[in-house]
C-alpha cells in the first residue's frame, strides 16, 4: 500500500474501530461509503456552535445556521457546475429526489403519454415512475440491456418515441457497474421533446459530474454514497423546468402567503424544501465535497481502476463464477457483481462477513434486471471506493475461494 493510500485510510475512523479488532475489508461502498473524520468533525462543530433552524429565525445563531446552510448549497452547485445555487434542492436522499420529480411531473402528464426507464434501474428510479404511470394512465417503457449488462444503444430510437414525455435513467448501474451513455440519452429525449432525469447515486462517487456538459434536465444523488452523511440528498434541476413543477410535498418554510383558501409558494429552491431541512447533514455534505476537493482524486481513482481490473481478473479465474456486467474497464464503475453456480449469494456474503470482508448479496433493489438476466437469487456485489487497497481485494478473493469450497 502506498504511503498516500495509508494516510487516506487513516482519515476514516471505521478502519481503526472495527469490532473484534479484525481488519475491515469494506467492499460494500455502493450501498454506503464510509465517512472521513473531516465530515464527522464538521457536523459536530456545526451542532456545537451554530445549531438553529434555518430561514426562520432572526437571532444571530439562526443567521449563522442560515449562512452554513446557504454555503452548503453553493458548494454543491459548484461541485455539479449548476448554473445557479437555486437549482439545488436538498432532499432526504436520492430516492426522495426522484419521488419529488416523478410526482411533480406526473401531475403534468396525460393518459397515453409514455415514460421511459431502463432495465438497469434501481427500484428507487423505477417504482416512483411505475406508480405515477399507473395513477396517470401513462405507459412505462423499458430501454433493454445487452447480455453484458449495458444499455443497448442500438434500441434507444425504438423506445424513446414521439409519445415519450420523460426519460429516467441511471448514470451507472448499481448491479452491473455499466456507465450509461447519458449525453446520447439526453439527445434522444430532447429530440422528441421529453425531459430527462439521471440517477447519479452510483456515478457521483467515482468521477466529476458536470450537469451542464451532460445536457440533462434533472440529476440526483445521496450524500452517504460519496463520503457524506446519511439523511441528505440532492436534486439538481434546470431552473426553467423546476419552476414549472408544483411541489408535491407542502408545509412550513416553503410558502409566501397563506389564507384560509389558498397558498403561494416561495421561489426556488425553497418551494421544494417543506419542513425543517437536513441542516447538519448539508454541512456534512459540503465538508465531504471539500474533502474530495483536497485529495488527489484522479490518482486515487486510477488506483481504484487498477484494483477493479485485479478484481475482474481474480473473479474470471475462479471456477463457477459468472461476472454479471462488462468485463472490460471501459465505461464501468468499480462495482462488480457475480453469480456462483449453484450457490446462494447470501451464503457467500455471510461467510465473507465472518472473515471481515463486507460485500452485498441478493436482488440489490433491481428485481426486473435480475429477472431479465435470469438470476432468481440475485448476485454477490463487490464495490470499491478510494480507500480500498490490494489487501481488501486479496482478502475477498481468498475468502471467496474458501466460501465456495465450504459450500460445495
Ligand atoms: N439509485 C441507485 C443506482 C442506487 O444504487 C441507490 C442506492 N442503493 C439509489 C438510487 C437510492 O439511494 P438512497 O437509498 O440513498 O435514496
- Ligand 1 pocket member 99 (CB < 6 A): no
Of the candidates 34, 25, 14, the residue with the CA atom closest to the CA atom of residue 388: 25
The overall average pLDDT reported for the chain is: 96
226 CB within 6 A, ligand 1? no
Residue of the CA atom closest to atom 8 of ligand 1: 31
Q: Give tens-digit pLDDT for 341-388.
A: 999 999 999 999 999 999 999 999 999 999 999 999 999 999 999 999
Which one-letter DSSP state was computed for residue 138? P
Secondary structure E strands in 272-394: 321-324, 335-340, 357-358, 360-362, 379-383
Q: What is the rounded distance in angstroms from the CA atom of residue 93 to the CA atom of residue 171? A: 16
CA of 31 to the centre of ligand 1 (A): 8
Q: What SS3 state is found at 8?
A: helix
CA of 96 to the centre of ligand 1 (A): 10
Mean pLDDT for the stretch of residues 319-335 = 93
Residue 93 Cα: closest atom of ligand 1: 16
Between CA 356 and CA 392 the distance in angstroms is 10
| Other Cβ atoms within 10 Å of 265 Cβ, number | 16
Query: How buried is 117 (Cβ within 10 angstroms: 0-12 exposed, 13-18 middle, 19+ buried)?
Result: buried
Atom of ligand 1 nearest to the CA of 365: 8
Nearest alpha-carbon partner for 387 in 198, 227, 184: 227
How many C-beta atoms lie closer than 10 Å to residue 34's C-beta? 20
Are the CB atoms for 229 and 201 separated by under 8 Å?
no
Task: State residue 20's pLDDT score.
Answer: 76
Cα separations in angstroms, 288 against 28, 82, 137, 229: 19, 18, 41, 8
Question: Is the CB of residue 321 less than 8 Å from the CB of residue 314?
Answer: no
Q: 364 C-alpha to center of ligand 1: Å?
A: 10
Listed residue (315, 306, 333, 330) closest to 390, CA to CA: 306
d(CA 118, CA 144): 6
How remote is the CA of residue 383 from the centroid of ligand 1, in Å? 14
What are 274-304's pLDDT values in tens digits?
Answer: 999 999 999 999 999 999 999 999 999 999 9
pLDDT of residue 19: 78
Q: Summarize pLDDT for 251-271 with one digit per residue, the tens.
A: 999 999 999 999 999 999 999
Ligand 1 centroid vs 263 CA: distance in angstroms? 33
Q: Is the CB of 105 under 6 A from ligand 1?
A: no
Q: Is 193 exposed, middle or buried (0-12, 13-18, 19+ CB in 10 A)?
A: exposed
Ligand 1 pocket, residue 118 CB under 6 Å = no
Residue 285, all three cell numbers: 455534505
Atom of ligand 1 nearest to the CA of 222: 15
C-alpha span between 134 and 288 (Å, rounded):
38
Is 164 among the catalytic positions?
no
The cell for 314 is: 481474480
pLDDT tens readout for residues 58-70? 999 999 999 999 9
Ligand 1 pocket test, candidate residues 125, 170, 222, most atoms within 8 A of CB: 222
For 108, other C-beta atoms within 10 Å of its C-beta total 14
Average pLDDT over residues 149-173: 97
Name which of 186, 200, 191, 190 is nearest 79 in CA terms. 200
Please give the Cα distance from 348 to 258 (Å, whole number): 57
Amino acid 98: pLDDT: 98
Tell me, using a 6 A CB cutoff, whether residue 337 lines ligand 1: no
C-beta 170 within 6 A of ligand 1:
yes
Which three-class secondary structure state does DSSP give residue 391? Answer: helix
Please tell me if the CB atom of residue 281 comes closer than 6 angstroms to any atom of ligand 1.
no
| Nearest-5° Cα angle at 108, 169 to 187 | 35
Residue 132 pLDDT > 80, yes or no?
yes
CB 91 less than 6 A from any atom of ligand 1 = no
93 lines ligand 1 (CB under 6 A): yes
Average pLDDT over residues 200-228: 97
HSE value, Cβ hemisphere, 13 Å, CA-based, for 399: 23
Q: Can you read off the three cell numbers belonging to residue 250?
A: 407542502
Residue nearest to atom 14 of ligand 1 (CA): 95
Torsion, Cα 211 220 275 54, to 10 degrees, reads: -50
Q: What is the pLDDT of residue 104?
A: 98
Distance (Å, whole) CA 86 – CA 77 = 8
Distances (CA, A) of 306 to 208, 303, 320, 335: 19, 5, 24, 13
Indicate whether residue 97 lines ligand 1 (CB < 6 A): no
Structural domains of the chain in order of their starting residue, each with its CATH number = 3-28+296-407 (3.90.1150.10), 50-292 (3.40.640.10)
- Is 87's C-beta closer than 6 angstroms to any atom of ligand 1? no
CA of 185 to the centre of ligand 1 (A): 20
* Phi, psi dihedrals of residue 357, rounded to the nearest 5°: -105, 115
Substitution site in 127, 173, 180, 201 for ligand 1 pocket (most atoms within 8 Å of beta carbon):
201
Ligand 1 centroid, distance to 122 Cα (angstroms)? 7
Amino acid at each position: 500500500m502506498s504511503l498516500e493510500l495509508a494516510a487516506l485510510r487513516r482519515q476514516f475512523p471505521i478502519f481503526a474501530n472495527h469490532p473484534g479488532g479484525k481488519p475491515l475489508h469494506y467492499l460494500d461502498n455502493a450501498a454506503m461509503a464510509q465517512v472521513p473524520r473531516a465530515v464527522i468533525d464538521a457536523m459536530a462543530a456545526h451542532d456545537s456552535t451554530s445549531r438553529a433552524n434555518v430561514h426562520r429565525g432572526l437571532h444571530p445563531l439562526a443567521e449563522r445556521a442560515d449562512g452554513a446552510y446557504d454555503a452548503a448549497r453553493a458548494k454543491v452547485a459548484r461541485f455539479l457546475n449548476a448554473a445557479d445555487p437555486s437549482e439545488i434542492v436538498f432532499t432526504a436522499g436520492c430516492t426522495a429526489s426522484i419521488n419529488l420529480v416523478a410526482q411533480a411531473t406526473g401531475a403534468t402528464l396525460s393518459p397515453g403519454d409514455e415514460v421511459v426507464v431502463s432495465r438497469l434501474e434501481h427500484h428507487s428510479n423505477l417504482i416512483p415512475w411505475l406508480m405515477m404511470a399507473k395513477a396517470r394512465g401513462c405507459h412505462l417503457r423499458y430501454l433493454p440491456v445487452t447480455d453484458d449488462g449495458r444499455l443497448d444503444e442500438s434500441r434507444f430510437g425504438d423506445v424513446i418515441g414521439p409519445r415519450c414525455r420523460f426519460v429516467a435513467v441511471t448514470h451507472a448501474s448499481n448491479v452491473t457497474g455499466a456507465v450509461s451513455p447519458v449525453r446520447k440519452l439526453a439527445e434522444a429525449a430532447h429530440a422528441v421533446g421529453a425531459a430527462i432525469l439521471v440517477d447519479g447515486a452510483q456515478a457521483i462517487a467515482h468521477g466529476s459530474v458536470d450537469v451542464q456538459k451532460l445536457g440533462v434536465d434533472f440529476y440526483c444523488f445521496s450524500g452517504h454514497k460519496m463520503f457524506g452523511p446519511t439523511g441528505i440528498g440532492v436534486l439538481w434541476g434546470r431552473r426553467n423546468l423546476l419552476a414549472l413543477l408544483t411541489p408535491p410535498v407542502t408545509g412550513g418554510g416553503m410558502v409566501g402567503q397563506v389564507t384560509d383558501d389558498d397558498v403561494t409558494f416561495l421561489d426556488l429552491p425553497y418551494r421544494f424544501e417543506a419542513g425543517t431541512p437536513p441542516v447538519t447533514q448539508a454541512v456534512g455534505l459540503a465538508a465531504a465535497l471539500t474533502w474530495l476537493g483536497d485529495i488527489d482524486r484522479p490518482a486515487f481513482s486510477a488506483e481504484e481502476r487498477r484494483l477493479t481490473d485485479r478484481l475482474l481478473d481474480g473473479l474470471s479465474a475462479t471456477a463457477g463464477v459468472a461476472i454479471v456486467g462488462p468485463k472490460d474497464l471501459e465505461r464501468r464503475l468499480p462495482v462488480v457483481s457475480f453469480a456462483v453456480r449453484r450457490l446462494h449469494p447470501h451464503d457467500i456474503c455471510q461467510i465473507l462477513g465472518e472473515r471481515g470482508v463486507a460485500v452485498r448479496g441478493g436482488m440489490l433493489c433491481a428485481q426486473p434486471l435480475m429477472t431479465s438476466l435470469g438470476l432468481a437469487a440475485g448476485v454477490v456485489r463487490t464495490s470499491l471506493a478510494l480507500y480500498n487497497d490490494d489487501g481488501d481485494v486479496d482478502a475477498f478473493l481468498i475468502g471467496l475461494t474458501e466460501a465456495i469450497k465450504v459450500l460445495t
